[in-house]
Amino acid sequence: QVQLVQSGAEVKKPGASVKVSCRAAGYTFTRYHMHWVRQAPGQGLEWMGIINPSGGSTSYAQKFQGRLTMTRDTSTSTVYMELSSLRSEDTAVYYCARVIEEDYSGRYYYYMDVWGKGTTVTVSS
């Protein structure tokens, strides 16, 4: 069935980088954009950015510009999210999510229909 399998929990020191993977299974990897969303402990959901697995193009939220890199490997149907210069405020659960684009008479609606289980990243000295 359709699923997104994320890598395991990470513990990093401030200033380090973390790279989280998300492997897609059960569907054609290059047909759907992938987004990343994070959730700090006890907080709400925060959209980070998007990658198009077909061509590799990306778009990031302004607050992560310069620190965030999303890449993909079509041979393994895997997308990666790398966040650098980590600080304590980056402690969160990081989710990948597949996005459906649906055409309603020429208007395109988007929604996240499948999510990974999340990867906990802890930043602590």
Partner 1 sequence: DIQMTQSPSSLSASVGDRVTITCRASQSISSYLNWYQQKPGKAPNLLIYAASSLQSGVPSRFSGSGSGTDFTLTISSLQPEDFATYYCQQTYSTPWTFGQGTKVEIK
Binding site for partner 1 (CB under 8 A): 35, 37, 44-47, 50, 59, 61-62, 95, 97, 100, 102, 104, 107, 109-113, 115-118
Shortest distance (Å) from residue 48 CB to partner 1: 8
Shortest distance (Å) from residue 73 CB to partner 1: 22
Contact 51, 3 (CB under 8 A): no
* Cβ neighbours around 112 below 10 Å, total: 17
Closest to partner 1 by CB, 72 vs 98, is 98
Strand bridging mode 10-12 / 119-123 = parallel
Shortest distance (Å) from residue 13 CB to partner 1: 26
Closest to partner 1 by CB, 87 vs 110, is 110
Closest to partner 1 by CB, 9 vs 16, is 9
Separation CA 28–CA 37 (nearest Å): 22
Q: Distance of CA 121 to CAs 10, 23, 52, 83, 87, Å?
A: 5, 18, 24, 10, 11
Closest to partner 1 by CB, 13 vs 107, is 107
